[in-house]
Structure 1
Amino acid sequence: MLFSNPIASHVKLDFHHFHYASELDLNQVIIQLPDEKYSSDELVQLINSSAIRPIGYRMPLSMALGSKPTEAEWKKWFACISPTFNDNHRFIILHGQQVALGSIFEYLDDHASDFNALHDFKTHYVENMITQLSQLQQLAKQYELTLLIENAAIGGMTYFEPGQAFIHPALRTPRHLIQIAEATGVKICFDTAHARITSHVLTYMHRSRSMFAGATEKEILNSTKNWIDFYHQIEDHIGLIQLSYAVSFGDTPTTTHIPFPQERYSEIIDFAECVNPTIPIALHSGTHPQNLKQQLDMIHFLKKS
């Protein structure tokens, strides 16, 4: 049988997205929070307008780990979110801050004689994240929330646009994710699209040592073969899976968090045979909620075949 896991959907905080998911009987949802602030009453009212049940929230883009939100801002969000859960799962998905590729080059220029400069840059990034996560863990426990750290893609959605070369220096390989999980006790939110991007890009860099992805030699040589290999390396630390596809560099809304094409259904079958059946799977529709139906149709089709 293909996936006996609990199936949810990843949606925006939007009335129409909620109802679309409900119409597909995908009532358990992961909600992407906007940067605009909401009160608990406003959230509850919006959620109660449909049949959806939140099992998790992905924090707003402005609340990235490594950025500078205050403890008061985190506390306000946690206090706002906590009353909206009516499920055993109470996930908070955290993501890392992107950095300008230019700032990495500046760091390398400032440490021109240091062969390990790029490695050190990433180490500082991860260590700061561990410190921040350890503090957030204590706050999350007060609200009975489960923190998850999301594996990152290579760069942002506008990576190749002039002046928009922002990149994820870490959280894109199993090594850093496992290091963070073991140091803080947080679980991992495994994003299959992101893992597909990073595995393919870093594998390509075995042949091309281009710096465009800001990767160290160790990252390149130890890159995962594919997204399923990525899963196997971190599976003991996974608390949630976001299932979707990505092509190429996955740097636009139309190339990442999209449905699997039929010629890649074999990847889903292979994944279904090895995935832990107790881990919830959220179908990620990206910016297009209509992709949810295509994702669900794929699962129904493969279950029948």
Structure 2
Amino acid sequence: MLFSNPLAVSTSAELHELHQVADQGMKHVEVQLPSSRYTQDELQDLFQATHTSPIAFRAPKTMGLGSSDFILEEWEYWLKTVAPLFSEDSLRYVVCHGTAVTLGEVFEYLDARPQDFNGLHDYKTRYVEKIIEQLEQLHSTALKYNIQLCIENAPMGGDHYFEPGKGLIYPALRTPRHLQRIAEATEVQICLDTANARITSNVLSYMHRSRSLFAGATEKEILNTTRDWIEFYQQVQKNTVLVRLSYAVSWGDTPQTTHTPFPEEAYPELLEFAEQVDDEIPILLATGKEQDLQDALKPLRQLKKR
């Protein structure tokens, strides 16, 4: 049941945000690692000053998997740095994510193969296989530090997907199929981001109805999309070890419309999810801002009383 699950807060490695988490009576956190290197001592000082404790770290935003920019040494640095920061009895997760690509890159790949009707499918397959290859390179280091690697599901595109010149898109990891492929091929588990799952289910379901292909999706991807984020969870449930819980409005293509607290009209979704989620899975509240955190805790506290 959702209302008895261990809770943590997703936040950045900033003193002010961690203080806000602690002020709400929360101790455990998932920390978004910065793009610039922090030392172990710098991170430890943040946790000691705020009396918070990490159960997960999300890889730096600049270190998305699936690209040719993968630098093993950077990953080894971060795994070595964060490993001592977990408490002895703590869960020990590092959450990985795919890299976003430009629409131009996808089109260039397709233009070079004008007779290949499976070109887009092949592009996505190569992207996923590269992620698997890179995760396999990380396996021995993660094992050395007793860290469980996770892969998160992606949204459709970047935060400003529909703005001209900012058309970043995630080629895969938007539906359960590729996540399951990665989990089966590696020892990596899944971190379900409910806002991202809500976005992709909305968009791909719409594309199924409208027969639209504008978001760089294959017919197979569209036809096999999940009805909603709860069905998405059902399909990846056996490999899911973390749930980052938040809401997204419609297609959630801006920071203001994704990773927001659940509104009251969406409480039935939370109740349905509560009946299905494994009670030992940590729930990560996807906000570090004080008011948003209060709003994220509000429905859990209200619904628990029902």
Relative to the length of structure 2, the TM-score reads 0.97
Partner of 1:84: 85
1:1-305 alignment runs, 5 A limit: 2-67=2-67, 68-86=69-87, 87-285=89-287, 288-305=289-306
Counterpart secondary structure, 1:189: strand
Q: Is the 8 A contact 1:8 1:283 kept in 2?
A: yes
- In the alignment, the residues of structure 2 paired with residue 199 and residue 40 of structure 1 have an alpha-carbon distance, to the nearest angstrom, of 39
1:162, CA displacement in angstroms?
Answer: 1.5
Indicate the larger mover: 102-111 or 25-34. Answer: 102-111
1:209, CA displacement in angstroms?
Answer: 3.0
Q: Aligned AA for 2:7? A: I
Counterpart secondary structure, 1:42: helix
1:213, CA displacement in angstroms?
Answer: 1.2
Cα deviations by residue, 1:51-75 (Å, 9 ceiling, x for unpaired): 1110000011111112324221111
- In the alignment, the residues of structure 1 paired with residue 286 and residue 36 of structure 2 have an alpha-carbon distance, to the nearest angstrom, of 22
Q: Aligned AA for 1:43? A: L
The root-mean-square deviation of aligned C-alpha atoms, in Å, is: 1.2
Q: Is the 8 A contact 1:55 1:89 kept in 2?
A: yes
- In the alignment, the residues of structure 1 paired with residue 46 and residue 153 of structure 2 have an alpha-carbon distance, to the nearest angstrom, of 29
Q: Is the 8 A contact 1:40 1:84 kept in 2?
A: yes
1:3, CA displacement in angstroms?
Answer: 2.0
- In the alignment, the residues of structure 1 paired with residue 208 and residue 234 of structure 2 have an alpha-carbon distance, to the nearest angstrom, of 21
- In the alignment, the residues of structure 2 paired with residue 44 and residue 103 of structure 1 have an alpha-carbon distance, to the nearest angstrom, of 40
- In the alignment, the residues of structure 2 paired with residue 167 and residue 104 of structure 1 have an alpha-carbon distance, to the nearest angstrom, of 9
1:210, CA displacement in angstroms?
Answer: 2.7
Percent identity between matched residues is 53
Counterpart secondary structure, 2:210: coil
1:167, CA displacement in angstroms?
Answer: 0.3
Indicate the larger mover: 48-57 or 58-67. Answer: 58-67
1:289, CA displacement in angstroms?
Answer: 4.2
Q: Is the 8 A contact 2:2 2:279 kept in 1?
A: no
Counterpart secondary structure, 1:111: coil
- In the alignment, the residues of structure 2 paired with residue 10 and residue 27 of structure 1 have an alpha-carbon distance, to the nearest angstrom, of 11
Shift in CA distance, 289/154, structure 1 to aligned 2, threshold 3 Å: farther
Q: Is the 8 A contact 1:66 1:125 kept in 2?
A: yes
1:2, CA displacement in angstroms?
Answer: 4.8
Counterpart secondary structure, 1:29: strand
Relative to the length of structure 1, the TM-score reads 0.97
Q: Aligned AA for 2:240? A: I
- In the alignment, the residues of structure 1 paired with residue 12 and residue 147 of structure 2 have an alpha-carbon distance, to the nearest angstrom, of 20
- In the alignment, the residues of structure 2 paired with residue 281 and residue 297 of structure 1 have an alpha-carbon distance, to the nearest angstrom, of 14
Unaligned 5+ residue runs, structure 2? Answer: none
- In the alignment, the residues of structure 2 paired with residue 126 and residue 143 of structure 1 have an alpha-carbon distance, to the nearest angstrom, of 25
Q: Is the 8 A contact 1:150 1:191 kept in 2?
A: yes
Cα deviations by residue, 1:7-59 (Å, 9 ceiling, x for unpaired): 11111111111111111121110001111211101111111001111000001
- In the alignment, the residues of structure 2 paired with residue 2 and residue 214 of structure 1 have an alpha-carbon distance, to the nearest angstrom, of 34
Q: Is the 8 A contact 2:2 2:273 kept in 1?
A: no
- In the alignment, the residues of structure 1 paired with residue 242 and residue 209 of structure 2 have an alpha-carbon distance, to the nearest angstrom, of 33
1:113, CA displacement in angstroms?
Answer: 1.3
Q: Is the 8 A contact 1:2 1:302 kept in 2?
A: no
Shift in CA distance, 184/2, structure 1 to aligned 2, threshold 3 Å: closer
Cα deviations by residue, 1:115-135 (Å, 9 ceiling, x for unpaired): 111100000001111000111
1:208, CA displacement in angstroms?
Answer: 2.3
Unaligned 5+ residue runs, structure 1? Answer: none
